[in-house]
Every structure is written in C-alpha cells, then in structure tokens.
Chain A
Amino acid sequence: MTTEVKTKVIGKSVWRNEDPRLLTGMAQFVDDIELPGMLHAAFYRSDYAHARIKSIDVSAARARPGVVAVYTAEDFGDYWHVGPLQVPPPLAIKGAQFNARPLVPIAKDKVRYSGEPLAVVLAESRYIAEDALADIYADLEPLPAVTDMEKALEPGAPLVHDDLGTNLAADVYQQVGDYEAAKAKADVVIARRFFKDRCAGGAMENRGIVCAWDEKAQKMTVWCGTQAPIPMRNAIAKNLGLSEDQVRLVIPFIGGGFGPKVMTSMPDDVLLPWLSRKLNRPIKWIEDRRENFLATTSERDQIHYAEIALTKDGKILGVKDVFYHNTGAYDPYGMTVPLNTQTHTLGQYDVPNFYTQIKMVFTNKMVVTPVRGAGRNYGVFVMERLMDLAAKELKMDPVEIRMKNLIQPHQLPYKTGIIGQDFVENVLDSGDYPASLKKAVEMIGYEKFVKEEQPRLRAEGKWVGIGVVNFVEGTAVGPYEGARVTVGNNGKVVVLTGCSTQGQAHFTTFAQLVAEQLGVDVKDVHVTTGDTDQFHWGAGTFASRGITVAGSAVYAAATKVRAKALSLASKLLETPEEELELADGVVRVADLPSKFIPLGELAMKANPTRGTIEPGVEPGLEATAYYAPPHGATGYGTNAIILEVDKETFDVKIRRFVFVHDCGTVVNPMVAEAQIHGGVQMGIGTAFFEQLVYDDNGQLLNASFQDYLMPKATDMPMKMELGHLSVPSPLNPLGLKGLGEAGAIPPPAAYAQAIENAIHDVDFEILDMPLNPSRLYELVKAARKK
C-alpha cells in the first residue's frame, strides 16, 4: 500500500501558520469569550473524599444578591443521570470482567472523591458565584476512605460503590504461550514489586466551557477546549434530547490537552448546557487551578508484581505481570490505560511466553483517564527494570542483554497476541529495533563513556551514570477520522476536520498535506479543527493519532480534489491531464507555464450558476474523505541519558539526553521534534518531579503549582540530541506513525537505570516512581544501613 512519495512540502520544517496569532494576543481561547447577559458558574465541592450526603442547604446562597440559581442533584430532577461510559468495556478479550461505574454529573446520596461537585451556583459574576459557595452548608457524614489499591481489595474494605459489593472494577488477563512452563525451564527468575504514582495532566489552560441556548433558533452553541469535539457534541445533544444539528460545538484555541481534555460527560458539559437552556442565558465556567488538580482526571497509579524468566545466557523465556490499576472513584474511560500497559509491557522484545493480568480498582481518589503516555510508560518501566535486574544478576551489560532479545526487522509485522485499547490484536507494524538501539548507543558514546569517562569521573568522586532503555509507542488507533477540503473562489483552500488541536500544529501540518497535493502555499490553506456545524464526523485528538488518522483523511481528500482540478482543467485548457501540473496556486501545462488557470477560477467553473454539469461529477473543487486504520501504527525508539547525582543534595543533573525515534514519514520535522521535546519534559516530570500526593483520607495534599512540581526552564537539559529513523508504516499511504506521547514514555526507566549506575558504591534498587531528591536519599540511606 505504501509507495515512495516524492514530496515538495511534506518533510519540510515549515513555520507554523498559527504562530502569529498566538504571539500577538489575537488567538481566542475559551476564557476570552464574553457574551451579553452571560452568567458565571461555580461548583461547590466536597471536602471529604468519602461521605454520605445527609442534606445540602443552599437557601442562603440563593438569597445572595446577584445569584440567579443554585442547583443540587435533587434540583436536576429527572435530568440527573449516570454516565454514559465514554469508552466501551473490553468485550473482545475472553473472560474479561468489567464493572461499569461511569461518572455522575453531581453527587447524589454519596461523595466518592474529594472535590466531587455537590452544587452549582449561577450568578451575574464569578465573584458573586464564588462568594455564594461560602453560603452553602452541606451536612456530610464522613465515611472511611480507601486510597490504597491492595487494601481496597481486602475483605471489609470501605466500598466506593456499595451496590457492587467489591472495589474490583475489572479483572482482565491475557496470555501468550505458557509462562509457568517457561519458568520451569529457566535458569534465572527475577520477581519484584513496582509502583508508579499519579501525575497531573497539567495543561496551562484549565478546563472551561461557554454555552448559549438560542430560544428563537432552538439551538445550543458551546465553546469548549475539548480534544473530542464530535463525541462531545453528540453527548450534549443526546442529554438535551436535541438532534445533533441543534448543537454546535466550536473549538477555539486550546491551551494544551495532554489527555484529560478528552473527557466528556464531566459535570460542566452535562449540567451547564441544560441550565443554559432552562434559564435561557449564556453560561461560562472556567475551572480554577485548584479544581483542575482536584477534579480533573489524572493518571499513572499502578502496582505491578512482575517477574522475568531467562536462560543463563540472557535470553528471555517469559514474563509475568499481575498489576493493580487505580481507576479512582469511577471508570468512565473503560480500560484504555491498563490495556495500553498490557500492550506496551514487552516493548521491542521477543518474548515467547507472557502472562499479564489487570486488577482495576475503585478508590476514593480522582478518576483516572489517559494522560500523555497513557499506561504505556509503566509497562515500559516494569520491563526495562526487569531487564536491568536480569543484567545485574547475570553480570551482563544492560545494552547487551537488550540487543540479545530484540525483535528483528524480518519478524515485522509482529503480531503480539495481546488485544489493545482499540479492541483488536496489537501488531508491531514496521521498524528496525536493533538500528534504534545501535544509533542511541553510538550517539551517546556508550563504550567510551563506560570505559574511559566514567572511571575517570568516579575517580574524582563523582556519581555519574548512564542509562539506555527501549520503548514502543502504540499510536494512531481507530476508529476513523474524516476531512473535507474545499478550494474557494479566491484560490485559497479550506480544510475541515473534527480532530481538534491543542498545540500540535494541525493548522500547519494538515495544511502541508493539502499544499503538497494542490500546489498552493501552506499559508493559503486554512484549517478548522473543530466546528461541528462545518464538519461533524470523527472521534478526536488522542492516542497520538492526529497526523496519522486525521492527516491521512486530509491527504486523501486533497488527493480527490487534485483529481477533480486536473480533470476540469484538462477540458478547459484542452490538454491531457498527464501534461498538467498544480503549482503556485494554478493548474498549468508543465511545458508551457504561460498556459494556466488559477485554482480560484477553476473553483468557480466547477460550481456554475447556470447551465449544466456533467453527469456523475460532483460540483465544486471539494471532496470529503475518511481514513480508518485496521489497527494502530506502532512507533518506537531508544532513550539514552548520562546524568550526575549530587552527593550532598541527591539532586540529579542531566549531562546528555539522547532520544532516537521512528514515526515513519515525517510531515514537518520541526514540529515532530517539538513533540519529543514536550513529551520528554513530561517524562522527566514523571521520573523526578511530579507526584499527586494523597493522604489516607483521600485528600490531595499538593493541589497547586507551588506544591506540585512541574519541570521549569531551569530543570531541563541544555539540549536534546535527537536521532531519527524513518521506516514508513504500511498502514497508510504516506507511511505515517504517531509520535505525540513518545517522549513521555521512557525517561523514568532511563532515570532509574542511570541513577543506579551512577551510585555505584551502594547496592540498591529503584522500583518505584517518581523519585525526587529526598526519596532517593532515603533509598540510598536504607541500603547503606543493610
């Protein structure tokens, strides 16, 4: 299916179309929208993580001047409803048990996490709305909270959902071969417990929504920073009993997504459109930062009991991983995150026997849904740690043991036998894994470092270490995306898609795909990525799927428009199509450039106001196309770092940061590299900075940027050394694979290996993430005592 594409615009580091607006204050974000008569919403949230609701008195709040309405769950009457599930259960996996407990929009009878809404206030200003929150009195009977995944499954544990009789949200196992038989034959078996704690999405823009019911037009317009405009539009229409075309969702600029903004059926998008219609007033709600930490979904939070069985020469015979996944108080996003863990655990390695089991657990913590990396990174962390432990046990070099177990290029496409988040078997479609590891090892100068530099630095008393780890990134899952491409009478091109952008440069990369086919300037292609009145098919921007899934649809639509343009121009110019070319905004005779017709003129001719058009020809220089992959495309890479641990402070300083990756054909190298930079920042955050700390009562203790440490400008390496491989995916015409989450995946594993390697004079193991200086100090101190 893949053909060698000779490109003019694809593959070029074109500057971004969106930048001038973003740089000059001319980009509209949801909070920049002001409508006449707009009310402001504020949510009254529970201070308890687990409590029974005895009564809520909102009378004083209602009496406050400027307050228009206050609603509790009771006040929503029959409109109050549970869910729906945003992602269906994994029925494709044999024997899968899944207990659906989707989100409720506003707590009724019981509170299940700290920050869960109990009432919503609508007032003439946000100040008044917030003041009115202080007027509300909620009589709550605190219940013992459960936050620990393992304790949650013990008999007698407090139940998050009483009717369920257990806190087990799901139990899903998958296996390939026979692990126990493999273990029986193994020379070495290594088993450990691993833990990875929770991190925030941390988009700089909090969540927000503006909704306005138009009684005369009988139409709801919603502005919102969602990653999934079409599903949200459809959900709002269904909730309100409207047909889909009565709801218009408009996506302004979005200040970062990172996963949590893919959620629909959150309290705001369920309750506020209904209230706007009921009160016939526009309503705005912008989350504040504390609410974002408390009550926007977050991720990570898994405990793994994993083991690896090997021969004495380091060949892996099998891996077993039984893990607990904390879904928090509800499970609206199905099992996307832990299924990602299952499909990513073995990474690039050829392992004939694999047993993997998910025990998904309800607790009184905020709900878990994907955050950049989305389950992939702990699978990778666990496997890479097992490899390091095995290397140590077998006295092998960490690179050597990895090289020995890689899936070879001739084995691709490699069917893993594990069903993934898209409910089809995970297939590693394309690549050259040994080349990735070799390239990273060369780039970082592994041999030289280990043989020359490290001994010298150790002699100087320095703790300097190296880490080299591999990863895969399943990307670009289905179901599909679509796009419409239209050439206007002014010769400029409009691209419409439902795949919204949160900074990934869709306005530029999609424009490049069109410019390639139509021979126009990238600046003359205007992309709209989320206005449901203009285009209303698609699933959204998640799972690193934008350029591959939506981009392939854009490219296909542009290809169709090109064919229409050539056909019509051939007739008008009386020249065979093969002799025509599209360039500089015109269709022209390749050998006689003075004989041409501008695209705008051609667009007019394609849409005549009188006369006839040929039977079978659709009017306009316009086409719509869809792309639906059979399964995801899998990127991969290798992360190699050299770091130094300060012997006094236990702070870690990165000396070298090498990242080799393969995302197939690259549309815009500058943009692709930027995705790695950003992903790595998050990867470093989850390795050494970021941790949402909950106490045993389910209270989040660090709900601010003061206390929750995101990497700052001063925390990043001086430079990122990127190595590119480009093996095209066979799954789509351009050979694209996703990349958006790659950077976030391997850094914790690389940190762990490099830190252990640096602190060579202490025998200790890093099994939990994230680290920070004090935790590292405690680990080393404990090991020294032994």
Chain B
Amino acid sequence: MLHEITLTVNGEQRTVAVKSHHTLLKVLREQLGITSPKIGCENGECGACTVLMNGKAVNSCLVLAVEADGAVIETVENLSKEGELHPLQQAFVEHNAIQCGFCTPGMIMSAKGLLDRNPHPTVDEVKEALAGNLCRCTGYIRIVDAVMDVAKKGDA
C-alpha cells in the first residue's frame, strides 16, 4: 500500500508516495536520491545511516518512512554551503578523522545532533554520542578530537 508523505529534507519540502514497510533510509536513498546515509547493518547497530530527524540523531534504518511524515530531515548533503565545508566537516579534514568515509556521514550527523543540543560537551559526552556509530578505519580518537575541536571553538 502506498502512503503519501510530506517531509522537509535538507530545507526542501518533498512529497513522496511510500510503501508501508519501507524505511526512511530506503526512501531517502532510492526515492529522494540522497545517498549519504549508508546501509551498514539495517538493524540499528552500526549508525552508518544516521540522519537528523527533527534535530535528533536517528538510525534512519529503524524509522519507517510513514513515521517521517511532517518531519524535518537533515543529512550531510545540507551542511556545506557554496563549496564551504561546515565546521564539523572541516574539522574532520584537518584532524584526518576520515579514512574510507563510509561511516563518516552518519558520524557527522551524530556529532551535529550532539553539538546542536549541547554545544560544549565533555570528551566523555562526545564518545557517548558517537558510541552508536561504528568505524573500522580510524580508531575514533581523531574523530573525537575533531568534534572536541569544533566544540571548543563553539562555531557549530
């Protein structure tokens, strides 16, 4: 069965007909052409599909698309403006917090979710916020450093 939902994705209002059983992740990737949220486990265990939904970091593989009707969704595609990277993105470059980059969009959105509600977190709060985002390449230390750097500058 198809349901028509309207949601705001990266600042743009979109109306799409979605199947009852399709997840927000699937609709973002396949119907809305937003491929930064990645499919790593489809069970909410790896965090590669993390997006902000109404300002809160969620695993988009665990959200049914129909649940996102009326929601505001943000992904990394919305962060850089006119070629300028967002401070979080820039910090990831400067701290070399990226290797293969598969987990990176989800990692950035989890970090943004944290900094939006808590602009000056402690290291432990950052680690806690990122504990749901697995990364196999970086060893996390530089990711935590990058987020702390932005938090200290306070320009997120």
Contact B128 A19 (CB under 8 A): no
Taking a contact as CB atoms closer than 8 A, the residue among A15, A27, A204, A254 that contacts B48 in the complex is A204
Q: How far is the CA of A28 from the CA of B29 in the complex (A)?
A: 12
Contact B101 A716 (CB under 8 A): no
User: Which residues from chain B contact A289 at a C-beta distance below 8 Å?
Assistant: 40-43, 45-46
From known contacts A23-B93, A23-B104, A713-B140, infer whether A705 and B46 are also in contact, taking CB-CB under 8 Å: yes
A681 on the interface (CB 8 Å rule)?
Answer: yes
Could you mark each residue 663-681 of chain A with 1 if its beta carbon is under 8 Å from any beta carbon of chain B, else 0?
Answer: 0000000110110011011
Q: How far is the CA of A711 from the CA of B127 in the complex (A)?
A: 12
User: Which residues from chain A contact B144 at a C-beta distance below 8 Å?
Assistant: 713
Closest to B48 in A: A204
User: Which residues from chain A contact B34 at a C-beta distance below 8 Å?
Assistant: 25
Contact A25 B35 (CB under 8 A): yes
From known contacts A23-B76, A29-B38, A681-B136, infer whether A504 and B99 are also in contact, taking CB-CB under 8 Å: yes
In the complex, how many angstroms separate the beta carbon of A671 from the nearest chain B beta carbon? 7
User: Which residues from chain A contact B140 at a C-beta distance below 8 Å?
Assistant: 681, 711-713, 716
**Interface segment, one of A309-317, A319-327, A717-725, A776-784:** A717-725
A34 on the interface (CB 8 Å rule)?
Answer: yes
Could you mark each residue 1-22 of chain A with 1 if its beta carbon is under 8 Å from any beta carbon of chain B, else 0?
Answer: 0000000000001011011111
B75 on the interface (CB 8 Å rule)?
Answer: yes
**Residues of A within 8 A of B (CB-CB), count:** 59
Closest to B101 in A: A22
Q: How far is the CA of A630 from the CA of B66 in the complex (A)?
A: 61
B56 on the interface (CB 8 Å rule)?
Answer: no
User: Which residues from chain A contact B2 at a C-beta distance below 8 Å?
Assistant: none
Could you mark each residue 727-768 of chain A with 1 if its beta carbon is under 8 Å from any beta carbon of chain B, else 0?
Answer: 000000000000000010000000000000000000000000
User: Which residues from chain A contact B103 at a C-beta distance below 8 Å?
Assistant: 204, 255
Contact B93 A671 (CB under 8 A): no
Contact A15 B35 (CB under 8 A): no
How many residue pairs at the A-B interface have CB separations less than 8 Å? 173
Taking a contact as CB atoms closer than 8 A, the residue among A204, A670, A714 that contacts B100 in the complex is A204
Closest to A254 in B: B100
From known contacts A204-B102, A256-B100, A716-B141, infer whether A20 and B93 are also in contact, taking CB-CB under 8 Å: yes
Contact B100 A205 (CB under 8 A): yes
User: Which residues from chain A contact B98 at a C-beta distance below 8 Å?
Assistant: 16, 19, 22-23, 503
Could you mark each residue 74-85 of chain B with 1 if its beta carbon is under 8 Å from any beta carbon of chain A, else 0?
Answer: 011101100001
In the complex, how many angstroms separate the beta carbon of B106 from the nearest chain A beta carbon? 9
From known contacts A204-B103, A705-B46, infer whether A674 and B85 are also in contact, taking CB-CB under 8 Å: no
User: Which residues from chain A contact B58 at a C-beta distance below 8 Å?
Assistant: none
In the complex, how many angstroms separate the beta carbon of B25 from the nearest chain A beta carbon? 11
From known contacts A677-B138, A677-B139, A712-B134, infer whether A255 and B100 are also in contact, taking CB-CB under 8 Å: yes
**Size band of the B side of the interface?**
35 or more
In the complex, how many angstroms separate the beta carbon of A674 from the nearest chain B beta carbon? 5
From known contacts A32-B35, A710-B136, infer whether A23 and B108 are also in contact, taking CB-CB under 8 Å: yes
User: Which residues from chain A contact B24 at a C-beta distance below 8 Å?
Assistant: none
A662 on the interface (CB 8 Å rule)?
Answer: no
Q: How far is the CA of A677 from the CA of B99 in the complex (A)?
A: 11
Taking a contact as CB atoms closer than 8 A, the residue among A21, A255, A504 that contacts B102 in the complex is A255
User: Which residues from chain A contact B60 at a C-beta distance below 8 Å?
Assistant: none
Q: Which of B19-78 contact A (CB under 8 A)?
A: 21, 29-30, 34-36, 38-43, 45-46, 48, 75-77
User: Which residues from chain B contact A705 at a C-beta distance below 8 Å?
Assistant: 41, 43, 45-46, 134
Taking a contact as CB atoms closer than 8 A, the residue among B43, B45, B89, B131 that contacts A23 in the complex is B89
Taking a contact as CB atoms closer than 8 A, the residue among B29, B39, B131 that contacts A712 in the complex is B131
Q: How far is the CA of A704 from the CA of B134 in the complex (A)?
A: 13
User: Which residues from chain B contact A23 at a C-beta distance below 8 Å?
Assistant: 76, 79-80, 85, 89, 92-93, 98, 101, 104-105, 108
Taking a contact as CB atoms closer than 8 A, the residue among B35, B123, B136 that contacts A256 in the complex is B136
A187 on the interface (CB 8 Å rule)?
Answer: no
Contact A24 B89 (CB under 8 A): yes
Q: Which of A197-238 contact B (CB under 8 A)?
A: 202-206
User: Which residues from chain A contact B130 at a C-beta distance below 8 Å?
Assistant: 712-713
User: Which residues from chain B contact A203 at a C-beta distance below 8 Å?
Assistant: 100, 102, 136
A682 on the interface (CB 8 Å rule)?
Answer: yes
Contact B39 A255 (CB under 8 A): no
Contact A204 B135 (CB under 8 A): yes
User: Which residues from chain B contact A18 at a C-beta distance below 8 Å?
Assistant: 101
- Sort A-B residue pairs by CB-CB distance and give the 9 closest, nearest first: A255-B102, A25-B36, A503-B100, A22-B101, A503-B99, A677-B139, A705-B45, A681-B139, A289-B41
Q: Other CB < 8 Å A-B pairs besides A23-B85, A673-B96, A681-B138, 13 of them?
A: A19-B93, A23-B104, A29-B35, A34-B30, A204-B48, A289-B42, A289-B43, A677-B139, A681-B140, A705-B46, A710-B136, A716-B140, A718-B123
Q: List 16 A-B contacts (CB under 8 A).
A: A20-B85, A20-B93, A23-B85, A23-B93, A23-B105, A24-B76, A25-B35, A25-B75, A27-B101, A204-B136, A288-B41, A678-B138, A681-B136, A704-B41, A704-B43, A713-B144
